[in-house]
Chain A
Amino acid sequence: MVTLSVNGRRHDLDIALDTPLLWALRDALGLTGTKYGCGIAQCGACTVHLDGKAVRSCVLPVSAAEGKEVTTIEGLSEKGDHPLQRAWIAEEVPQCGFCQSGQLMAAAALLAQDPAPNEAAIEEAMKGVLCRCGSYQRVRRAIERTLAERARGLA
C-alpha cells in the first residue's frame, strides 16, 4: 500500500512499491495528462512536480513520492489558466500536443524556483523535454512572454 498526495488529494494505492510514479498516475489514478514517451528519462513527456521540483515520473518509484506533494498537469491550475498555460495559448505552442504537459511542467517548475531565469537557465530546464513537432521556438516565446508579463506585474 502506498499513500500518495497528488494535486492536493490523498490516495491510498495498492500497487508495487517499485511501480514508477508515471503508471500510478496514469493507470491507477486515471490522470492521463502525464505522458509515457520513453521510460528512461530521455524525453521528459512524463515530467511532474515533486514538492515543486520537476522530476521524470517514468523513472521515479512511487515509494519515492510518499510523503511528498505531487503536482501533475491536471493540478497546475484550477481552470487551465496558469500564466504559462495562457502564454502557451497566446503563442499557439502545441502541434500534436503530446509533449506539452511535460513542456509546461518543466517550465512551471523553473519559473517557480527562479523569478527571472536567464537564457542558460531556460535552456537547462527545457532541453530535457523533446518535441518531435519542433515547437521549441514557440515554447521559448511563451516562456519569455510569461516572464515579460511577470516583470510588468501581470503574472
Chain B
Amino acid sequence: MKVVLDRRTFLKTAAAGGALLLGIHLPGCREERGASASLPGSVQPVGFTSTFAPNAWLQVNDDGTVVVQVAASEMGQGVMTAIPMLVAEELEADWQRVRVEFAPARAEYANPLMGNQATGGSTAIRGFFQPLREAGAMAREMLVAAAAARWGVAPGSCRADRGEIIHLPSGRRLGFGELASEAARQPLPEQVRLKESGTFRLLGTPVPRMDTPAKVNGSAVFGQDVRVPGMLFASIERCPWFRGKAVRVEVGEALRLPGVVDVQIIDAGVAVLAESTWAAFKGRSALQVQWSPSKLQGLDSGAIRARLQKALDRPKPRRNEGNVDKAFRAADRTIEAEFALPYQAHACMEPMNCTAQVGSGECTVWAPTQAPGRTQQTAARITGLPPDRVRVVTTFLGGGFGRRSEQDFVEEAVELARRTGRPVQVAWSREDDIRHDFYRPASHSRLRAALDAQGRPIAWHQITAGPGLAQGGIDIPYAIPNLRLEQAVVEPGVPVGFWRAVGASNNAFPVECFMDELAAAAGRDPFEFRRDLLADARPRAVLELAAQKAGWGRHLPPGQGRGIALYRSFGSFVAQVAEVSVEGERVRVRRIVCAVDCGVVVNPNTVEAQMESGIVYGLTAALESAITVRDGAVAQSNFHDFPLLRFDAMPQVEVHIVPSGEAPGGIGEPGTPPAAAAVANAIFAATGQRIRALPIRLGA
C-alpha cells in the first residue's frame, strides 16, 4: 500500500520531535522524555551522541535501540506492546531492541479518533494503526537512503531487515544505530510504501507483552507507587451524598496525630495531609464535618427506577425505518418485554489517586490517567500556568475502564500541591472509589416486536429510558424491515460516566435477551433464528463460529443450559455462547465460548486476553454487583457489598478469532456487552425462566 504522507502533519511533528528539521533536539522534549525513565520498560535517551527522531513517535539511538513513544495509556489492554509493534513492523526493527516510553502530554500525541491524547472507546489501535505504521515506514525509508548514500548505491537496491539495512547485490549490512546520524540528515520522504498484510512479520503474531516482567516482580510503577522527595499524602473526607459541600469542620484530634501536618477544605471535601498514607487515613477519621444539604439527598434507587419506567410512556423519536405501526397492525402476534439495568461502579483494582508538584512557573503531575491531554489542561487551569509548563507523567494504570478519563483526582492533587507548596499524592480509599465514582447509568428499556405468521420479525420497536450515555450503542444487525428506536432521556442526577462499553453495556442485554424471546415465540432455535436474520457475512460468521466451537445443539444434562448472544460495538463483532448450571437460586457459569471479528489482528494474545477480560467484567455485572442509591448517597462502599467475580466462580473461557483483513476494530470493550445476555439466555434454556433485570437474582 502506497501512502502519500500528509506533509504538514509530519513536518509539524518532525519539528516538535526536534531532530530533523532543526538538526537538534528541543531540550524541553528531551527532558520530558527523560522524566518517564523511572517507569519500567523505558530507557533514558540521554548519553547518546547521535539519535535519529524523524517524527514524534520514534527515535533510533546510535546503539541501535529504537524507542517508541506510546501515547495511549497502558491499563491492561496491551497498548504498550501493540503500539510499538505497529512502528517496528514498518521500520523492520529488531524487536529485541525496541524500547517504549509513555509519551508526555503534547498535542501531536492526540489519538486521531479521539481528537485528543486520550485512551478510550477502544480506539488505540483503530486510531494509531495507520499513522504509526507510516511513522515507522518513514524512518525506514530514511535509514535506507542514508545507507545507500554511504555505499553510493541506489536506494532501490537496499532493504531494511531486523534492525539493519542490507545492500542486496553485495550483501553489505549496516545497523540502524550506525546510520542514525546520517539518517537524520536525509530529506523527509514525500510518500512511503506500507507493507502488504501478507508480509507482516510481527503483526498478527502473539508477541509477548512488554510489561509482564515488571508486573510479576513488583517493580511496575502505578500511580499509587509514585514517590517524590518531600511528598505528603492526602486523604479527603467527602460528603456522603451527591453535591454536598463542607460547611463546618471540627479538626479535633486530627492535627495532633503523629504524621498529620495540615487540613485543607477543597471543593471535593476536607483533605488531611500527612507524612504517610496511613496517617492521612487516621487523621481523616478524626474529623467531624458538617455538610451542606443537597437537592439530590432525596434520590433513591426505587424512585429512580419508577421514574425511568414511567418515562418509557413519553419517548421522543430517534430512528424510524419502514412503517412500524402498519407492521404491528398486520402482525400475526406481538411480543413485548421490559428490561432494567442498575448503576455500576468501575471498581478499578487501583483506587483513584494522583501525585502533583507545583513549583514556580511549572507543575508536574504523575497520574494514572486515560487522558493526559485533559490532565495537562486541568493542571494548567488550576495553577494558572500555560499548558506547556505542565509536565504530565503517565504511570501504569491499575485498571481504567473509563473511570480514569475523569479528572477529579487530578484536580484534587494539583489544588493541594498548589496550596501546600509540597508534592502531594491524593490517595483515595476503596470506600471513596466505590461511593464517588461516575457510574454507568441505570437504564430501562421497553421492546416490542411484531411477528408474521411464519414467526419472522417484521417490526422492532425499542424505547430506552435513561441518561444520554445509556442511549448510545444500540446495534441491531438483524434484517427486520420496520424499525423504530425511541428515547426518553432522564438524568436523575447521579454522576455518570464512561464505563466499559458505555451504551452498549446498557443495550446489548435488552436487545439480545429480547431476540431470544422472539426465537422462543417463533418456536425456533435461538442460534438459527438469529443466523437466518443476518444478511451481513461478518456477524454471521462470528455467530456461526461461536455456535460451532461451543457444540451448539449438543445435549446438556438437566439443570444446565446454553445461551447465545451477538453484539457489535467499537467496530468489532463478538458472539458468545454461555453454558450455565442452575441449582435452586444459584447460577454457575461453567463455560463461555467467544468468537470475535475485530478486523486485522495486531496481537492475537492480547485480543484473547481482552475478550477474557471483557467477559469477566460483564459477568460481574450480570451476577455479582450493582450500585444502589439511598438518601442521595451510594449504598455500597467496598468489595463486601460490591462483590466482584472471584477465582472460584471463573468459567472456562475459550476465544476464537475470525481471520480478517478488514480495518482494525476495538478489543478493550466489545467482549463485555454480550456476556450478560448470553448468561441470561442460558438460564432460560436451563430453567424456562426469563431474566429481565440485572444483576441476575433467581427467585427475586
> How many angstroms from the CA of A45 to the CA of B348 in the assembled complex?
12
Judging by beta carbons under 8 Å apart, are B609 and A35 in contact?
no
**Which residues in B have their C-beta under 8 angstroms from that of A140?**
647, 650
> Could you give, for residues 203-224 of chain B, a 1 whenever the CB lies within 8 Å of some chain A CB and a 0 otherwise?
0000011011111111111101
> How many angstroms from the CA of A104 to the CA of B217 in the assembled complex?
9
The interface-forming segment of B147-155, B393-401, B688-696 is B393-401
> How many angstroms from the CA of A80 to the CA of B40 in the assembled complex?
14
Judging by beta carbons under 8 Å apart, are B639 and A42 in contact?
yes
B75 on interface, CB distance cutoff 8 Å: yes
Nearest chain-A residue to B214 (Cβ)? A97
Q: Can you list the 6 inter-chain pairs with the closest CB atoms, starting with the nearest?
A: A33-B218, A134-B616, A98-B398, A97-B215, A96-B76, A95-B76
> Could you give, for residues 100-131 of chain A, a 1 whenever the CB lies within 8 Å of some chain B CB and a 0 otherwise?
11001000000000000000000110111111
Nearest chain-A residue to B617 (Cβ)? A134
A148 on interface, CB distance cutoff 8 Å: no
B406 on interface, CB distance cutoff 8 Å: no
> How many angstroms from the CA of A72 to the CA of B219 in the assembled complex?
12
A34 on interface, CB distance cutoff 8 Å: yes
> How many angstroms from the CA of A115 to the CA of B351 in the assembled complex?
35
A16 on interface, CB distance cutoff 8 Å: yes
Q: Which of A27, A40, A128 contacts B276 (CB 8 A)?
A: A27
Judging by beta carbons under 8 Å apart, are B217 and A80 in contact?
yes
**Which residues in B have their C-beta under 8 angstroms from that of A23?**
276-278
Q: A39-B429, A74-B218 are known contacts; what are 6 more A-B pairs with Cβ within 8 Å?
A: A16-B258, A73-B217, A96-B399, A98-B348, A104-B216, A130-B644
Judging by beta carbons under 8 Å apart, are B224 and A135 in contact?
no
Judging by beta carbons under 8 Å apart, are B647 and A129 in contact?
yes
Q: Which of A15, A16, A39, A43 contacts B349 (CB 8 A)?
A: A43
> How many angstroms from the CA of A149 to the CA of B239 in the assembled complex?
53
**Which residues in A have their C-beta under 8 angstroms from that of B221?**
32
For the residues of A in contact with B, the DSSP-based class is loop
**Which residues in A have their C-beta under 8 angstroms from that of B258?**
16
**Which residues in B have their C-beta under 8 angstroms from that of A38?**
430, 638-639
Contact residues of B with A, CB < 8 Å? 74-78, 208-209, 211-222, 224-225, 227, 233, 258, 276-278, 281, 347-351, 396-401, 427, 429-430, 605, 609, 612-617, 620, 638-640, 644-648, 650, 652-653
Q: Which of B222, B349, B430, B614 contacts A131 (CB 8 A)?
A: B349
Judging by beta carbons under 8 Å apart, are A133 and B213 in contact?
no
Judging by beta carbons under 8 Å apart, are B216 and A94 in contact?
yes
Q: Which of B218, B400, B617, B640 contacts A73 (CB 8 A)?
A: B218
For the residues of B in contact with A, the DSSP-based class is loop
Judging by beta carbons under 8 Å apart, are B612 and A96 in contact?
no
Nearest chain-A residue to B427 (Cβ)? A36
**Which residues in A have their C-beta under 8 angstroms from that of B219?**
33, 74
A89 on interface, CB distance cutoff 8 Å: yes
Judging by beta carbons under 8 Å apart, are B639 and A130 in contact?
yes
Judging by beta carbons under 8 Å apart, are B351 and A36 in contact?
yes
Judging by beta carbons under 8 Å apart, are A97 and B76 in contact?
yes
A146 on interface, CB distance cutoff 8 Å: no
Judging by beta carbons under 8 Å apart, are A133 and B224 in contact?
no
A64 on interface, CB distance cutoff 8 Å: no
Judging by beta carbons under 8 Å apart, are B349 and A96 in contact?
yes
Q: Which of A40, A89, A98, A130 contacts B222 (CB 8 A)?
A: A98
**Which residues in A have their C-beta under 8 angstroms from that of B227?**
30, 32
> How many angstroms from the CA of A127 to the CA of B78 in the assembled complex?
25
Q: Which of A16, A34, A37, A89 contacts B212 (CB 8 A)?
A: A89
> How many angstroms from the CA of A108 to the CA of B221 in the assembled complex?
22
- Known A-B contacts A96-B396, A132-B617; the reply to A37 vs B349 at CB < 8 A is yes
Judging by beta carbons under 8 Å apart, are A127 and B648 in contact?
yes
Judging by beta carbons under 8 Å apart, are B278 and A27 in contact?
yes
The minimal Cβ–Cβ distance linking B346 to chain A, given in whole angstroms, is 8
The minimal Cβ–Cβ distance linking B639 to chain A, given in whole angstroms, is 4
A11 on interface, CB distance cutoff 8 Å: no
> How many angstroms from the CA of A134 to the CA of B430 in the assembled complex?
19
**Which residues in A have their C-beta under 8 angstroms from that of B350?**
35, 37, 96, 98
Nearest chain-A residue to B614 (Cβ)? A134
> How many angstroms from the CA of A141 to the CA of B287 in the assembled complex?
47
The minimal Cβ–Cβ distance linking B641 to chain A, given in whole angstroms, is 10
Nearest chain-B residue to A14 (Cβ)? B258
Nearest chain-B residue to A131 (Cβ)? B349
> How many angstroms from the CA of A136 to the CA of B645 in the assembled complex?
10
Judging by beta carbons under 8 Å apart, are A85 and B217 in contact?
yes
> How many angstroms from the CA of A38 to the CA of B348 in the assembled complex?
11
Judging by beta carbons under 8 Å apart, are A95 and B609 in contact?
yes
- Known A-B contacts A38-B430, A97-B76, A133-B399; the reply to A43 vs B212 at CB < 8 A is no
A150 on interface, CB distance cutoff 8 Å: no
> Could you give, for residues 71-82 of chain A, a 1 whenever the CB lies within 8 Å of some chain B CB and a 0 otherwise?
011101100100
Q: Which of B214, B399, B638, B650 contacts A137 (CB 8 A)?
A: B650
Judging by beta carbons under 8 Å apart, are B639 and A94 in contact?
no
The minimal Cβ–Cβ distance linking A2 to chain B, given in whole angstroms, is 13
Judging by beta carbons under 8 Å apart, are A26 and B351 in contact?
no
Q: Which of A36, A92, A96, A126 contacts B647 (CB 8 A)?
A: A126
26 A-B pairs within 8 Å (CB atoms) are namely: A15-B276, A26-B277, A27-B233, A32-B224, A32-B227, A33-B218, A36-B277, A37-B350, A42-B640, A43-B349, A80-B213, A88-B216, A89-B212, A92-B609, A95-B78, A96-B75, A96-B350, A96-B397, A97-B215, A97-B220, A97-B398, A98-B222, A98-B349, A132-B401, A137-B650, A140-B647
The minimal Cβ–Cβ distance linking A72 to chain B, given in whole angstroms, is 7
**Which residues in A have their C-beta under 8 angstroms from that of B213?**
80, 89
**Which residues in B have their C-beta under 8 angstroms from that of A126?**
647-648
Judging by beta carbons under 8 Å apart, are A98 and B399 in contact?
yes
Judging by beta carbons under 8 Å apart, are B612 and A137 in contact?
yes
The minimal Cβ–Cβ distance linking B653 to chain A, given in whole angstroms, is 6
Nearest chain-A residue to B646 (Cβ)? A127
> Could you give, for residues 3-28 of chain A, a 1 whenever the CB lies within 8 Å of some chain B CB and a 0 otherwise?
00000000000011001100100111
Nearest chain-A residue to B619 (Cβ)? A134
Judging by beta carbons under 8 Å apart, are B429 and A135 in contact?
no
Judging by beta carbons under 8 Å apart, are B224 and A36 in contact?
yes
**Which residues in A have their C-beta under 8 angstroms from that of B225?**
26, 32
Nearest chain-A residue to B652 (Cβ)? A137
**Which residues in A have their C-beta under 8 angstroms from that of B78?**
95
**Which residues in B have their C-beta under 8 angstroms from that of A36?**
224, 277, 351, 427
The minimal Cβ–Cβ distance linking A75 to chain B, given in whole angstroms, is 9
The minimal Cβ–Cβ distance linking A103 to chain B, given in whole angstroms, is 9
A139 on interface, CB distance cutoff 8 Å: yes
> How many angstroms from the CA of A137 to the CA of B652 in the assembled complex?
7
